[in-house]
Amino acid sequence: MSTLINDTSPFRLIRSAIPRTQLHQENSVRRIDAPQRGLRAWAARRRLRMALRDLADDKHLLADIGLTREEALDEAAKPFWR
């Protein structure tokens, strides 16, 4: 069941004396966490490439992931920041 409200006076827009740009708090956590996320991504990439380099000697495992030995070694040779 719905109710029709004819008197909208309780729902007046209340204007603040504070400028609109100062009403919202900036998300400072995102800024602080960004370098840590980048470092974690680099570390993960390094670990994965080292594992791929170790995997390059087993042609059966490489076939499972769809890579040749050369492709695996090329990927493993890339620097962690790329």
Q: Note down pLDDT in tens along the chain; length 82 residues.
A: 556 656 666 666 666 666 665 555 566 556 777 888 889 999 999 999 999 999 988 889 999 999 999 999 999 999 888 8
DSSP code of 27? -
User: What pLDDT is recorded for position 69?
Assistant: 92
Where does 1-82 have alpha helices with state H? Answer: 28-55, 59-65, 69-77
pLDDT (0 to 100) of residue 40: 92
Does residue 24 fall inside a structural domain?
no
Q: Indicate whether 80 belongs to any domain.
A: yes
pTM listed for this prediction:
0.54
What total number of domains does the chain contain?
Answer: 1
- Please tell me the distance from the alpha carbon of residue 50 to that of residue 29, in angstroms, as a whole number: 32
Whether 45 maps to a domain, the answer reads yes
Tell me, yes or no, whether 71 lies in a domain.
Answer: yes
Domain that holds residue 71: 37-82
Residue 26 lies in a domain: no
In a domain? residue 17: no
